């Protein structure tokens, strides 16, 4: 396996020894594949994980949900978090890169909000350490919501129902309606957007029958070929940064001149390095790559195989890997649409310019 990031070498050697063992004995039983999978991946838990330093309460989760769906935190009054991280569409927006303020397009494909709480950091380049920090980005980005923290606070403070909910969500704080607390509330809501009980998770939990023959063959290819080198853990990805194009850099149409994490660290080694995206719910989250330039999952598998692993899977193998990846679709979150507060005369009006 030709893989991809120094911090991973120990793991990879372990995996390699494991396979060497198989080769020695010449068998790889279904049971062994399951054990191997259990050592590489973890199921999505049934409940939202706790956030360090930001305890969830029912009030805070509800407030976070309202803010997630609140278009009035955008300058135009037209764009909410859910516009691009649509909870009914795998947590994404089906756009190559998101449409934002002024009909502008963002620089990178919107990553899914689903299970994002399990990522090592947020954004393709990991520039936000957690979901609270992430939430503050799009609200201010010129090509997204194009708003200012000050104006967000004016708008939120203009509606008594929000003031009351911030008080309840951040008890003991003198001035709870802040931009930071907005982000913290959104974070605890987003932590609830997890998708347990996929077929693959049932398999990981011990149900050997959860995958069909083709799906488990796809899983085996996924592991044997080295895909799991970058896509492992609870999110089947999302846990570290890897060079895009270790073996062969994908076409410019896919890269879009984006140097990824280099912009954050300025380290030569991070040029063209990106956080590996989660493959959870991957059938729902196209188009793929940071550029969002590929809509076909099969094509994405094929491109990654050449770019990262230097192998060329047959069409049948690609179909098997795709079949496996579709077992990563979990139970989608049940979200009751929040009823947002009535505006007042102090609520800022939409500005489209």
Q: Which of 56, 59, 75, 77 binds a copy of itself (CB under 8 A)?
A: 77
Per CB under 8 A, 155 contacts a copy of itself: no
65 backbone dihedrals φ, ψ, rounded to 5°: -65, -45
> Does residue 271 carry a catalytic annotation?
no
Residue of 54, 76, 192, 265 that binds a copy of itself (CB under 8 A): 76
Which one of residues 7, 208, 296, 316 is an interface residue with a copy of itself (CB under 8 A)? Answer: 296
**Tokens standing for residue 148:** 């200012």
Residue 40 interacts with a copy of itself (CB under 8 A)? no
Residue whose structure tokens are 């200012």: 148
Cα-Cα-Cα-Cα torsion 220, 125, 191, 46, nearest 10 degrees, comes to 10
Decide whether 70 or 201 has the Cβ nearer to a copy of itself. Answer: 70
Token digits of residue 231: 């896509």
Annotated binding residue 227:
yes
State which H helix or E strand residue 250 sits in.
none
CA 315 to CA 306: how far, in whole Å?
13
* Residue 350 lies near a copy of itself (rule: CB under 8 A): yes
Q: Which is nearer to a copy of itself, 31 or 345 (CB)?
A: 345
State which of positions 230-249 bind a copy of itself (CB under 8 A).
Answer: none
To the question of whether residue 81 is assigned a binding role by annotation, the answer is: yes
How many angstroms separate the CA atoms of 282 and 91, rounded?
10
Cβ-contact 347, 158 below 8 angstroms: yes
Kindly state the smallest distance separating residue 298's Cβ from a copy of itself, in Å.
8
Would you count residue 106 as binding a copy of itself (CB under 8 A)?
no
Please answer whether residues 91 and 285 qualify as being in contact, where contact means their C-beta atoms are separated by less than 8 angstroms: yes
In the list 11, 164, 283, 319, the residue contacting a copy of itself (rule: CB under 8 A) is 283
Identify which of residues 131 and 294 has a Cβ nearer to a copy of itself in the complex. Answer: 294
**Is 84 annotated among the ligand-binding residues?**
yes
Cβ-proximal residues to 236 (8 Å cutoff; 6+ apart), any chain? 41, 278, 279, 280, 328
Parallel, antiparallel, or unpaired: how do β-strands 241-243 and 273-275 relate? antiparallel
How far apart are the C-alpha atoms of 242 and 277, rounded to whole Å?
10
- The stretch near a copy of itself (CB under 8 A) out of 11-19, 31-39, 93-101, 111-119 is 93-101
Closest separation in Å from C-beta 305 to a copy of itself: 19
Beta-carbon contacts of 23 under 8 Å, excluding residues fewer than 6 positions away, are none
Binding site, annotated residues:
81, 84-85, 101, 227, 230-231, 304
Q: Return the active site residues.
A: 144
Catalog residues that contact a copy of itself under the rule CB under 8 A. Answer: 69, 71-72, 76-78, 83, 86-90, 93-96, 99, 102-103, 105, 283-284, 286-287, 295-296, 329, 332, 334-340, 342-343, 345, 349-350, 352
């Amino acid at each position: 396996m030709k893989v991809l990031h120094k911090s991973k070498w120990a793991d990879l050697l372990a995996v390699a020894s494991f396979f060497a063992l198989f080769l020695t004995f010449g068998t790889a039983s279904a049971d062994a594949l399951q054990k191997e999978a259990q050592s590489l991946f973890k199921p999505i838990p049934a409940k939202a994980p706790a956030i360090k330093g930001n305890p969830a309460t029912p009030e805070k989760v509800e407030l976070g949900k309202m803010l997630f769906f609140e278009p009035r935190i955008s300058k135009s009054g037209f764009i909410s978090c859910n516009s691009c991280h649509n909870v009914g569409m795998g947590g994404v927006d089906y756009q190559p890169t998101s449409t934002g303020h002024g009909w502008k397009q963002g620089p990178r494909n919107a990553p899914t909000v689903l299970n994002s709480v399990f990522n090592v950091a947020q954004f393709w380049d990991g520039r936000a350490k957690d979901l609270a920090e992430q939430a503050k980005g799009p609200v201010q980005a010129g090509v997204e919501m194009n708003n200012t923290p000050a104006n967000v606070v004016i708008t939120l403070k203009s509606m008594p129902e929000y003031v009351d909910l911030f008080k309840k969500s951040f008890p003991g704080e003198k001035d709870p309606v802040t931009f930071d607390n907005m982000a913290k509330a959104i974070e605890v809501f987003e932590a609830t957007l997890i998708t347990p009980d996929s077929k693959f998770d049932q398999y990981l939990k011990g149900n050997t029958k959860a995958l069909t023959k083709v799906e488990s063959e796809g899983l085996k290819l996924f592991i044997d070929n080295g895909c799991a080198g970058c896509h492992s853990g609870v999110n089947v990805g999302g846990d570290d940064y890897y060079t895009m194009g270790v073996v062969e850099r994908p076409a410019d149409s896919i890269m879009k001149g984006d140097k990824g994490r280099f912009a954050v660290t300025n380290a030569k080694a991070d040029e063209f390095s990106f956080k590996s995206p989660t493959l959870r719910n991957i059938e729902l989250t196209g188009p793929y790559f940071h550029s969002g330039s590929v809509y076909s999952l099969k094509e994405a598998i094929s491109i990654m195989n050449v770019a990262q692993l230097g192998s060329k899977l047959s069409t049948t193998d690609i179909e098997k890997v795709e079949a496996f990846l579709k077992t990563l679709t979990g139970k989608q979150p049940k979200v009751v649409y929040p009823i947002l507060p009535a505006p007042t005369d102090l609520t800022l009006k939409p500005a489209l310019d």
